[in-house]
């Protein structure tokens, strides 16, 4: 049985949990107040494999002090973050970029794919995305992802660049399968908005400690399903 937390408990939130907070306050509250997690979806094995392969490929260029061709071809004037020990920690899903608010003791964290370092010593996040769509889309969750990572870098004392990069790898399906799955690469530069994260994190913590159940997100399929199914199971629906 899930354990209900008390309002005095220190709160630790991941970047993904902050995204759940923006999409469905009720699902966020159930997980962080009562330990009831959303059902897991199907594992995205191909995406995970792509992520591992790309990290290994970028690391090969890092080891010889070169920029990955995808970045070089787009004129990115930076180098791959050279501190491999620190990067390994920042990439770890259970550690990541991690900041504990010294005033409240609450923690926010998130795991990055890669980091660029510019000549002025500022840092920018690179995130790998694999897709089967013809055109790439920066969803709100993608934007929040970069906002949180940039915010965490700043809180940890690093200077950040006013940009971040999505490295999209898009499956090419025009010539059929034929035992292979080629990809085309597309680099997309965005402007992170770290200034909005602090208030978002603060409001999420307040909800995680609240005894009052919030309303579900307007687009939450899980809450909509629960709302439709419960009267049928309880026998309260005429």
Q: ∠234-235-236 over CA atoms, to 5°?
A: 90
What's the 3-state SS for 109-166?
Answer: EECCCEEEECCCCCEEEEEEEEECCCCCCCCHHHHHHHHHHHHHHHHCCCCECCCEEE
pTM equals 0.90
Q: Phi and psi dihedrals of 28, rounded to 5?
A: -60, -45
Mean pLDDT in residue range 123-139: 89
Q: Which of 162, 72, 85, 91 is nearest to 122 (CA)?
A: 162
**Nearest-angstrom CA–CA distance, 142 and 19:** 9
Domain boundaries, the chain: 12-229
Residue 1 CA: distances (Å) to CA of 35, 150, 155 = 9, 36, 36
DSSP assignment of 13-48, as one string?
A: EEHHHHHHHHH-HHHHHHHHHH--PPPP----HHHH
Instruction: Specify the pLDDT at position 1.
Output: 41
- Token couple for 121: 């010593």
Mean pLDDT in residue range 128-155: 92
Q: Is 172 helix (H, G, I), strand (E, B) or coil?
A: coil
- What is the CATH architecture assignment of 12-229? Alpha-Beta Complex (3.90)
Q: Which of 155, 218, 217 is nearest to 30 (CA)?
A: 217
Residue 181 banded pLDDT, cuts 50, 70, 90: confident
Q: Looking at 74-88, 89-103, 129-143, 208-222, which range is the least confident one?
A: 129-143
Residue 114 banded pLDDT, cuts 50, 70, 90: very high
């Amino acid at each position: 049985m899930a354990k209900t937390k008390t309002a005095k408990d220190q709160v630790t939130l991941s970047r993904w949990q902050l995204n759940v907070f923006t999409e469905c306050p009720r699902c966020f509250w159930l997980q962080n107040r009562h330990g009831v997690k959303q059902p897991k979806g199907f594992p995205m094995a191909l995406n995970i494999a792509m992520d591992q392969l790309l990290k290994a490929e970028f690391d090969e260029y890092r080891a010889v002090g070169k920029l990955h061709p995808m970045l070089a071809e787009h004129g990115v004037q930076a180098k791959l973050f050279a501190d491999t020990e620190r990067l390994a920690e920042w990439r770890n899903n259970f550690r990541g970029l991690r900041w504990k608010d010294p005033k409240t003791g609450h923690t926010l964290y998130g795991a990055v794919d890669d980091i660029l370092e510019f000549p002025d010593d500022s840092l920018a996040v690179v995130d790998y995305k694999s897709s089967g769509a013809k055109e790439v889309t920066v969803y709100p969750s993608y934007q929040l992802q970069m906002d949180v990572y940039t915010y965490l870098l700043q809180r940890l004392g690093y200077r950040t660049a006013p940009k971040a990069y999505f490295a999209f790898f898009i499956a090419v399906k025009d010539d059929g399968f034929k035992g292979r799955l080629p990809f085309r690469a597309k680099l997309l530069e965005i402007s992170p908005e770290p200034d909005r994260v602090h208030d978002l994190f603060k409001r999420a913590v307040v909800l995680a400690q609240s005894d009052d159940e919030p309303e579900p997100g307007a687009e939450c399929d899980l809450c909509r399903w629960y709302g439709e199914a419960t009267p049928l199971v309880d026998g309260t629906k005429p």
